[in-house]
Chain A
Amino acid sequence: MHGVRRTKPSPEAVQAARRAKEASKIAEYRALEGEVLERKKRADYTPESLSLTTQLLWLNPEYYSIWNYRRLILQLGIFPSLPSPEHQQPLLLEDLQLTIAALKAHPKVYWIWNHRKWTLETLAGTFGVGKEDGRRWEWGKEIRIVEGLLEKDSRNFHAWNYRRYLLSSLSSPSPNPPPFPLALTPAQLSAERAYTTCKIESSFSNFSAWHQRTKVLEREWARLGAEQRRAERDEEFEFVKQALYTDPSDQSGWLYHRWLVSLPDFGDRESLLRRELLVIAELAELEPDSKWPLDSLATYKHLLLSLLPPSSPERTQLLQECKEHLEKLAEIDPDRRGRYRELAGRLG
């Protein structure tokens, strides 16, 4: 269990009443469960069994074996008796309703997400040739629903995973679309980039959105020529700079910046490092007690050192600065001084 506060124990009478109420709830639950399990055991895949599983899953949406049973009831019991795949649709739409209601109350339960995914995939299979519009409409609805869930909790990774699955399977509804974002069209990639921009602009500390952005950009950039890639990457540096200046203590932007710097060469790495070092040095001056600018200065100067010839006059100075930055870091971020000391030790 997460996040349930301890409370003081209440008077005996209150406790006794609570226990009695709980005992009757337990009896009710066990009776229903007993009935369902008995039917499951004898492979009873009738509509009555289906509605009993609905009741049980309302009481306990984490009961994965019952979700499994429900799918068997539909697949092996009810669907085979229907005249056409299209006749499955009303039942599947009911399961979409069931799962969205359950997800609103329990947005992080894996089993509910799994069942919803199964329902959607099965639904996709019921749209015959010429009915692609119907399928795309359902997918569009799903994307809007997941966006609603991400409005409520922009870090819910289940919702992000589901979103990636929806976008990947939009063009081809196989149960296992290629991993995100390989199946996305250029237009989809561009739209998804805009979505991450929107999410990031409304909260610079939305690491989930930054993460999504790295996946989209990697894919988009793979298709561009060297010069265009460089130009776009520089736009990203401008974009992340806003985040770094708005809140230098937020790690998301810094991790993203580190990724941008480490990308395989889109050109002159040395001038890139020098340019970014200037940007960060400015910020470090404005925020002398912020560890992230300092950590980046130490890291990027170390990188720069590795690019310079052994005879370069800058080496001594850079080395000295790295050591100073790491010493200061050990002071202002003492919890992690083990790391700073190790890095300083490697400088020799």
Chain B
Amino acid sequence: MTIASSSTPTTAPAHLLMDLHTQYIVSLDQQESSLAYHLTEHLRLNGVYWGLVALCIMGNKDALDKEAMVDYVVRCWDKETGGFGSHPGHDAHLLSTLSAVQILAIHSSLDRLPRARIIAYILGLRPKGKGYFTGDAWGEVDTRFTYCAVSALSLLGALGELDKVEEVEGDEGEAVTVREKVVRWYEACRNFDGGFGSQEGAESHAGQVFASVAALAILDRLDIVDADQLGWWLSERQLKNGGLNGRPEKLEDVCYSWWVLSAISILKKLHWINAEKLIGFILSAQDPDAGGIADRPGDVADVFHTLFGIAALSLLGYENLRPVDPVYCMPAEVIEGLGLKKDCQTLTRKVDGDGKGQAEQ
């Protein structure tokens, strides 16, 4: 690959530029002179999780200091509510709470804070009688948030809380477990195309499909998903350029490489898309000068797309990457260590110079 002069665009990279991306991620912390950095504090904790998992998959977990990171997570904890905000002083929310729990799990530091309080915060976000969790005390409903709750509870070893039977009032019908309520709610969010939207009645969208399928996988209730039909819808996200979109007639985007791919991996239909072409698309979205991966070739990179591009490459068997768990989007070894691994499909990892990856169970 030739190094071009600063006045001509660099040619698309044919390999994953791991060292460059590692540098890119590490340098994200030093962006104080960028206004955009300050304006994205509402995503900071999520950003740390995205960066950390990308590093783990590249085998460079120690590129960021563990103690400093865990201290930062602890400072994001809101002791009033028991949940985590996106940055110290920001209000607690399920999105940041999941990121916090994920980071602590990766760093084997789940007991730095009182688990019971975090669990209570999460459980408190389910309105009585309902099968969903809201994002925070203000009540936004979205299938993503139920996934955050189910995932976080399972990482905290508290999934059993969902097996409690809820008291029924008046004519509400039979008493069922919370788990059953959650499954029925996902059923209600399922659409004519087999996919899932953000809530009942909402259009299928790959991000929500991932959240729903992954939550159902954790709950061992994939029986409500028509794998053939949804696998078909997901496989049709692949466009001619190899990239994946999030719903019909939309543009390809590297983040959908993850949302679509992880769902397809859980449903064991990875062979229903063209892995080589997708790998090519992800690699072409790298920024070969500054590092990181963007939503599509030629765009500005960010840590969100960097993680999802690298995680997708790992699922596709790309060489020299560590395995990632498609249900949790975390290093596979961490999930195995916690006894949470589910039976999904990944492609055999290529060895340098090897032939094509084969689907394995």
| Shortest distance from the beta carbon of B5 to any chain A beta carbon, whole Å | 10
Q: Flag if A3 contacts B42 (CB, 8 Å).
A: no
Interface size class of chain B, counting residues whose CB lies under 8 Å from the partner chain: 35 or more
B274 to A, closest residue via Cβ: A335
With A and B bound together, what is the CA distance between A26 and B193 in angstroms? 46
Within 8 A of B (CB), among A220-253: 250-252
Q: Flag if A1 contacts B302 (CB, 8 Å).
A: yes
Q: Flag if A65 contacts B42 (CB, 8 Å).
A: yes
Among candidates A3, A164, A338, residue contacting B295 with C-beta atoms closer than 8 Å: A3
Residues of A within 8 A of B188 (CB): 179
Indicate with 1 or 0, residue by residue over A151-177, a CB within 8 angstroms of chain B CB atoms.
Answer: 000010100110010000000000100
Residues of A within 8 A of B250 (CB): 155
Q: Flag if B238 contacts A336 (CB, 8 Å).
A: yes
Q: Flag if A339 contacts B201 (CB, 8 Å).
A: no
| Shortest distance from the beta carbon of A13 to any chain B beta carbon, whole Å | 16
Q: Flag if B139 contacts A65 (CB, 8 Å).
A: no
Residues of A within 8 A of B90 (CB): 64-65
With A and B bound together, what is the CA distance between A335 and B250 in angstroms? 18
In the assembled complex, B179 has its CB within 8 A of some CB on chain A: no
Residues of B within 8 A of A339 (CB): 231-232, 235, 269, 271-272
Q: Flag if B193 contacts A255 (CB, 8 Å).
A: yes
Indicate with 1 or 0, residue by residue over B66-101, a CB within 8 angstroms of chain A CB atoms.
Answer: 000000000000000000011001110100000000
| Shortest distance from the beta carbon of B76 to any chain A beta carbon, whole Å | 12
User: Is the contact region of chain A dominated by helix, strand, or loop, or is it mixed?
Assistant: helix
Residues of A within 8 A of B136 (CB): 68
With A and B bound together, what is the CA distance between A182 and B247 in angstroms? 25
In the assembled complex, A62 has its CB within 8 A of some CB on chain B: yes
Q: Flag if B298 contacts A338 (CB, 8 Å).
A: no
Q: Given contacts A2-B253, A205-B248, is CB(A164)–CB(B300) below 8 Å?
A: no
Within 8 A of A (CB), among B306-361: 359
With A and B bound together, what is the CA distance between A160 and B205 in angstroms? 13
| Shortest distance from the beta carbon of B42 to any chain A beta carbon, whole Å | 5
In the assembled complex, A207 has its CB within 8 A of some CB on chain B: yes
Q: Flag if A157 contacts B274 (CB, 8 Å).
A: no
B228 to A, closest residue via Cβ: A343
B144 to A, closest residue via Cβ: A110
Q: Given contacts A22-B34, A157-B202, is CB(A62)–CB(B248) below 8 Å?
A: no
| Shortest distance from the beta carbon of B6 to any chain A beta carbon, whole Å | 6
With A and B bound together, what is the CA distance between A212 and B197 in angstroms? 12
Residues of A within 8 A of B236 (CB): 251, 336
| Shortest distance from the beta carbon of B261 to any chain A beta carbon, whole Å | 14
Known: A64-B90, A65-B85, A214-B191. 12 other contacts (CB 8 A): A1-B295, A5-B298, A30-B38, A59-B39, A65-B91, A118-B138, A157-B205, A161-B202, A215-B201, A255-B233, A334-B274, A335-B274
